[in-house]
């Protein structure tokens, strides 16, 4: 431990962030970096505690505590403090293949479980990791690494999101010939079209894809497996197949007026914006989607927040965001102790921008839509909403949100974005491969396993575990790769 008293001597300091009123004028990343000297002091804050929950990645009270990738967090932080950036990158690479992604989009499960966070602010592990990987790229440490020996075994990975990319990276390192199939026009899946550019600039994704191609991984884009080619035909061409298509079946809202024009699933809206930006090399912005409109976002999660930030950049006249659940407390409840994930109020970048732009938080809690209104042209023009209250059901032993009688009211809406989560994988893919799905429509496997009901067919990521975080998808992709490798070779190198 380089600085035993570092957590007592140094306050947490995050990198500079562009002010909301300035950053909403473009789609560029707005989180800056600290100087090398300042970042080293942040590494010094790590206590290197006896039980580092930050790297545990265990489930506590049904929630993840610490990094699912089991990154060697205290070691990396100590190396950052000493300015040994190259060795820090080597350590980080032992467990993590894509830290440039998670250091931008992960909610930092490691920091939520940081011992230092018990009585002060947690160590800025996420920014430390970003500093390490960006140093590595800037100094030529991250290179294409084709395997010296090929096994002759072939693997198809269906889906190029974080799980698919992680599986492909791992299997290619082992010498297998990997081909990644992606139905979109560019690789990346969720990382490409589900996460806005200001949160993860696509040049960062392209940088990694180029390295993967140079390392021998092949990408086949514009191929919709299950439609353009059957699962049976694909499986016949490869020794193994990994299904990593994500939980891409969006949850709909079945209320009167749902057929009105101007109601989008959030993922379709975000994809449309990003594709327009990429196709035009950022010379065109699709302002026509939201400019001057009253925007209603249904859903209070990360995707809903991304919709808020995107709509503001497109010139929305106002944005309202509905959240079914009660407003979280500002501090941990006694029933939510450390190192559980803190169920507290979080104001993300989109909400910050709405507050700066419109003067108030866009979120309305304990509220849902009961009807959409449309004009004579069939365009959505408003919504009927109702307040909700929690009610405990003695039969099910669960609390449900039920309507409050007489609380219905009207709100204007020219554009509605449904960000209510996902129900699981899309049926046509699993049906094409003939694999069994569970009650949640996720591809079924034995607990802790990745092989499906069909021999030689494996699965990983959200398609396997349901809607989750990028870091969990990467962890699943790596584990599925190990399972495939073991099935091909009789053992696997961990």
3-state secondary structure of 283: coil
Sign, Cα dihedral of 278, 280, 283, 287: negative
pLDDT at 245 over 70: yes
Residue 1: predicted pLDDT: 64
Is the residue at 1 inside a domain?
A: no
Q: Are residues 129 and 161 in the same domain?
A: no
The average pLDDT across 51-71 equals 93
Is the residue at 114 inside a domain?
A: yes
Is the residue at 461 inside a domain?
A: yes
Q: Are residues 305 and 348 in the same domain?
A: yes
pLDDT at 50 over 90: no
Is the residue at 147 inside a domain?
A: no
The average pLDDT across 348-374 equals 98
Instruction: Express as a percent the part of the chain with pLDDT over 90.
Output: 94
- Write down the mean pLDDT value for the chain: 96
Rounded CA gap, 142 and 93, in Å? Answer: 10
Q: Are residues 282 and 399 in the same domain?
A: yes
Q: Are residues 51 and 168 in the same domain?
A: no
Task: Tell me the CATH number at 347.
Answer: 3.50.50.60
pLDDT in tens, 104-113: 999 999 999 9
Q: Are residues 92 and 132 in the same domain?
A: yes
Is the residue at 494 inside a domain?
A: no
The average pLDDT across 264-274 equals 98
Task: Tell me the CATH number at 29.
Answer: 1.10.1060.10
Q: Are residues 16 and 103 in the same domain?
A: yes
pLDDT in tens, 477-491: 999 999 999 999 999
The average pLDDT across 204-213 equals 98
Q: Are residues 178 and 325 in the same domain?
A: no
Residues 6+ apart with CB under 8 A from 132: 76, 80, 85, 88, 89, 92, 99
The average pLDDT across 142-165 equals 97
- Asked if omega into 220 is within 30° of 0 (cis), the reply is no
Task: Kindly provide the residue ranges of all beta strands, DSSP E only, lying in 256-360, ordered along the sequence.
Answer: 263-265, 294-298, 318-323
Q: Are residues 115 and 15 in the same domain?
A: yes
Question: In the sheet where 263-265 sits, what is the strand order?
Answer: 263-265, 415-418, 294-298, 318-323, 363-365
Residue 40's domain comprises 6-138
Q: Are residues 271 and 323 in the same domain?
A: yes
Residue 385: predicted pLDDT: 98
pLDDT in tens, 212-221: 999 999 999 9
Residue 3: predicted pLDDT: 86
Q: Are residues 164 and 300 in the same domain?
A: no
pLDDT confidence band for 62 (50 / 70 / 90): confident
Q: Are residues 234 and 306 in the same domain?
A: no
Residue 184: predicted pLDDT: 98
pLDDT confidence band for 437 (50 / 70 / 90): very high
336, 220 Cβ separation under 8 angstroms: no
Residue 493: predicted pLDDT: 84
Rounded CA gap, 123 and 41, in Å? Answer: 10
pLDDT at 286 over 80: yes
208, 98 Cβ separation under 8 angstroms: yes
Is the residue at 145 inside a domain?
A: no
pLDDT in tens, 287-313: 999 999 999 999 999 999 999 999 999
Q: Are residues 163 and 233 in the same domain?
A: yes
Residue 317: predicted pLDDT: 98
- Domain total in the chain: 3
The full 3-state SS of 215-245, as one line of letters, equals: CCCEEEECCCECCCECHHHHHHHCCEEEECC
Last residue of a domain, one of 370, 394, 418: 418
Last residue of a domain, one of 362, 396, 418: 418
Is the residue at 255 inside a domain?
A: no
Instruction: Express as a percent the part of the chain with pLDDT over 70.
Output: 100
pLDDT in tens, 438-466: 998 999 999 999 999 999 999 999 999 99
Last residue of a domain, one of 418, 435, 469: 418
pLDDT confidence band for 35 (50 / 70 / 90): very high
The reported pTM is: 0.96
Q: Distances from the Cα of 316 to the Cαs of 77, 199, 377, 489, in angstroms?
A: 42, 19, 21, 55
Is the residue at 143 inside a domain?
A: no
444, 435 Cβ separation under 8 angstroms: yes
Helix axes 36-44, 125-138, angle to 10 degrees: 140
pLDDT confidence band for 127 (50 / 70 / 90): very high
Instruction: Kindly state the tokens that stand for 347.
Output: 């104001």
181, 156 Cβ separation under 8 angstroms: yes
Residue 412: predicted pLDDT: 98
Residue 424: predicted pLDDT: 85
Residue 485: predicted pLDDT: 98
């Amino acid at each position: 431990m380089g600085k035993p008293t570092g957590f007592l001597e140094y306050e947490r300091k995050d990198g500079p962030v562009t002010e909301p009123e300035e950053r909403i004028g473009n789609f560029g990343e707005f989180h800056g970096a600290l100087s090398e000297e300042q970042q080293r002091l942040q590494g010094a804050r790590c206590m290197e505690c006896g039980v580092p929950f930050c790297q545990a990645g265990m489930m506590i009270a049904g929630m993840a505590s610490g990094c699912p990738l089991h990154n060697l967090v205290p070691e990396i932080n100590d190396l950052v403090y000493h300015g040994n950036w190259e060795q820090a990158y080597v350590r980080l690479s032992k467990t993590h293949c894509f830290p440039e992604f998670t250091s931008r989009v992960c909610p930092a499960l490691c920091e939520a479980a940081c011992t230092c966070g018990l009585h002060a602010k947690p160590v800025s592990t996420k920014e430390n990791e970003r500093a390490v990987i960006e140093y590595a790229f800037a100094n030529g440490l991250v290179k294409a690494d084709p395997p010296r020996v090929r096994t002759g075994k072939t693997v198809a990975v269906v889906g190029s999101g974080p799980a698919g990319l992680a599986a492909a990276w791992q299997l290619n390192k082992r010498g297998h010939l990997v081909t990644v199939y992606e139905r979109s026009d560019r690789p990346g899946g969720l990382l490409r079209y589900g996460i806005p550019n200001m949160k993860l600039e696509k040049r960062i994704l392209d940088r990694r894809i180029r390295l993967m191609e140079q390392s021998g991984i092949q990408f086949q884009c514009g191929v919709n497996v299950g439609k353009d080619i059957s699962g049976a035909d694909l499986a016949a061409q490869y020794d193994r197949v990994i299904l990593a298509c994500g939980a891409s079946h969006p949850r709909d809202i079945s209320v009167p007026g749902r057929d009105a024009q101007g109601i989008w699933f959030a993922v379709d809206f975000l994809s449309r914006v990003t594709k327009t930006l990429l196709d035009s090399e950022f010379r065109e912005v699709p302002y026509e989607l939201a400019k001057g409109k009253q925007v209603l976002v249904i859903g209070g999660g990360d995707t809903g927040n991304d919709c808020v930030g995107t709509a503001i950049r497109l010139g929305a006249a106002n944005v309202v965001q509905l959240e079914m659940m009660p407003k979280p407390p500002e501090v941990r409840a006694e029933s939510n102790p450390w190192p559980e994930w803190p169920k507290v109020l979080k104001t993300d970048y989109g909400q910050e921008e709405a507050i700066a732009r419109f003067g108030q938080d866009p979120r309305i809690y304990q509220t849902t839509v009961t009807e959409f209104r449309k004009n004579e042209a069939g365009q959505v023009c408003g919504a009927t909403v109702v307040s909700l209250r929690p009610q405990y059901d003695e039969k099910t032993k669960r609390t449900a949100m039920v309507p409050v009688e007489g609380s219905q009211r009207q709100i204007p809406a020219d554009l509605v974005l449904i960000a209510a989560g996902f129900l699981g994988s899309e049926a046509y893919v699993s049906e094409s491969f003939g694999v069994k799905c569970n009650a949640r429509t996720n591809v079924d496997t034995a607990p802790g396993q990745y092989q499906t009901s069909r021999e030689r067919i494996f699965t990983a990521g959200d398609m396997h575990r349901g809607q989750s975080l990028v870091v969990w998808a990467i962890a699943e992709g790596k584990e599925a790769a190990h399972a495939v490798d073991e099935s091909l070779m009789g053992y696997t190198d961990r």
